[in-house]
Structure 1
């Protein structure tokens, strides 16, 4: 296949994840050229652009009006994704957007249909799925290392953030389910497949802001294999999953946020003893960027990524709909709705 040349990319927003992780990975990829970065604040755009050797743009609309951009990376707050993904697709650009793609299945489905109609890539950036540790876990599972899979559990919890953090604003950041809870949901989809249904859930909401602070959900396949997920922004830091089989258990820590120099450890427990597999470090940000570039330049995996976003959004909607909500006051009292 003819090499189409580097993908020319614009960055829509100067979020922390963009500055610390994604834009360095984008700049380092030989198949991508970062052309410009936009901010609603001219000074912020100028400072960000200087760090990465690209052009500053004052205003998101002005970036989309440029003629030298093939694709857009959107690291804006969660509740702004739908609007700016729609605008980017309308301008004819491929889109790399931070998770969650949108706040609802209806919004996600509309954007996926819009992207497919134009043969554009819409890539929801779940970086962890591109880390090689998960492929190794899947290979162990498929080889029968722990027998037949009977249950899956995953937890992603973080300590409380400052009171003014956008994660606590349902109109901007979306709350714990959309910020951290989507990771264990995507992991459950990865290992148990697309036929997952929600048996029930519990969400803790802040009485003042209405934001989801934490939650649990129980999912299952049509064959009764269960997935328990836990998430929240009011806990000690936990980032792990377990697979329970008929002959053993497999555990992976740092499942969603491993640094590039982290050496993953897969723990396997069986009746005949326990052992640890020490894996090589991997760079999930670089891998995600490489996957997006391949999708945009050659169409590699384009439909698969869209299907996963649709499945993810449907499950998040179902968790919200099926959940018992406990509203928690600042004094710790609660009332069930």
Structure 2
């Protein structure tokens, strides 16, 4: 499947293009308004480079568009791509509001096209392994404890600009709102408590959240752009605890080791090397080939609604 990449972002260069190459995608067009001269396709790949997004959408013969631009432009570019008949994948957050996400989902359904948000960490096989560990014990997770925080970014980074869709709630909130879908069978939270911990000028730079779910389950998380690097998830249940390092951005070139404590007996479980972006794209391509991609739109909209609720709860 030929892909048109809108935006030559760091994420696109580091993770998206290598993942497409792993899947054997060789036809890739790239549009970049600021870094068109720096476009470097993977070895063996070929395609056109554009310095204008509209021109790329008008001229490219790709089947799927991947939007990897600043957050505030996602909605407009995804809408244009859908209107022109492309399947569309958008970096998280797909839109800046649930209402915008509803509009895009309606358009995708009308056009009969796939619309997916690239919150990809849950596609790594480590998450299947965690669920298997709990399943083998006859238990289910009841508590989730997450930390995803990193040092401050350069002052000119768009994440410090509210008008560009910056702030930790939009940037890191998608990792918080997807955990219930992964471990609590898509149950909606019964309550959300969120506190902004620090601010950086016009945006919030860190927040903490507590969500409670039906059946006495809960999730607590700390997210931000203000601390030493931490990327960790603990999944707890009766008699079982699984600890995951690099939980939200598993490396594509290294195996993952899970720490498992079962009735106070500790062991490790190795998960083979995998690329979460490649696994995500594989799922998207297969769904498109089957003509069965509604699940992606449904997840995008559910996550957008919950992200809106998280932002409204923030104090």
Does TM, scored on the shorter chain, surpass 0.5?
yes
Matches of 2:206 and 2:103 in 1, distance apart?
28
Number of the residue aligned with 2:289: 297
1:199-210 correspondence runs (5 A): 199-204=192-197, 206=199, 208-209=201-202
Do the aligned partners of 2:244 and 2:259 also contact (CA within 8 Å) in 1? yes
Indicate the residue corresponding to 2:155 in structure 1.
Answer: 163
Residue 133 (structure 2) aligns with: 140
2: CA distance between counterparts of 1:293 and 1:26? 11
Aligned residue pairs: how many? 312
For 2:124, the equivalent position in structure 1 comes to 131
**In the alignment, what sits opposite 1:332?**
none
Shift of 1:136: 0.4
Offset of residue 57 of structure 1: 1.2
Deviation sequence 1:64-90 (CA, Å, 0-9, x none):
101522211110111211111111111
Tell me whether 1:149 sits opposite 2:141 in the alignment: yes
Whether the aligned pair in 2 keeps the contact of 1:196 and 1:219 (CA below 8 Å) is no
Give distance in 1, aligned partners of 2:90 and 2:30: 14
Which residue number corresponds to residue 52 of structure 2?
Answer: 59
Give the 3-state SS of the residue equivalent to 2:4 in structure 1.
Answer: strand
The aligned counterpart of 1:39 is 32
- Aligned ranges for residues 310-321 of structure 1 at < 5 Å? 310-321=301-312
1:155–1:184 CA contact under 8 A, matched in 2: no
Q: In structure 2, which of residues 8, 12, 16 is the aligned counterpart of residue 22 of structure 1?
A: 16
1:278 matches 2:270: yes
CA deviation map 1:47-76 (0-9, x unaligned) = 315665321112000011015222111101
2:278 alignment partner, SS class = helix
Give how far 1:109 is off: 1.3
Q: CA deviation at 1:205?
A: 5.2
Check 1:252–1:39 CA distance in 2 against 1; reply closer, same or farther (3 A cut): same
Residue 180 of structure 2 contacts residue 186 of structure 2 at CA under 8 Å; is this kept in 1?
A: no
The equivalent position to 2:76 in structure 1, one of 71, 83, 98, is 83
C-alpha distance in 2 between matches for 1:152 and 1:312: 17
**Distance in 2 separating the partners of 1:16 and 1:61:** 21
Task: Give the CA deviation at 1:194.
Answer: 2.6
Looking at structure 2, the residues matched to 142 and 84 of structure 1 have their Cα atoms a distance apart, in angstroms, of: 42
CA distance in 1, matches of 2:20, 2:141: 37
Unaligned stretches of 5+ in structure 2? none
**Closer/same/farther in 2, CA of residues 148 and 54 from structure 1, 3 Å limit:** closer
Please list every run of 5 or more consecutive structure 1 residues that lacks an aligned counterpart in the other structure: 1-6, 325-337
1:73 correspondence with 2:66? yes
Q: 1:67 to 1:244 in 2, by over 3 A?
A: closer
Residue 297 of structure 2 is aligned to residue 306 of structure 1? yes
Root-mean-square deviation (CA, aligned residues, Å) is 1.9
Confirm or deny that 1:254 pairs with 2:266.
Answer: no
Does the aligned pair in 2 maintain the 1:27–1:34 contact within 8 Å? no
Greater shift in the superposed pair: 182-191 or 73-82? 182-191
Measured against aligned partners, the alpha-carbon deviations of 1:312-337 in whole angstroms (never above 9, x if no partner) come to: 1111111111221xxxxxxxxxxxxx
SS of residue in 2 equivalent to 1:65: helix
Query: Taking structure 2 as the reference length, what is the TM-score of the superposition?
Result: 0.92
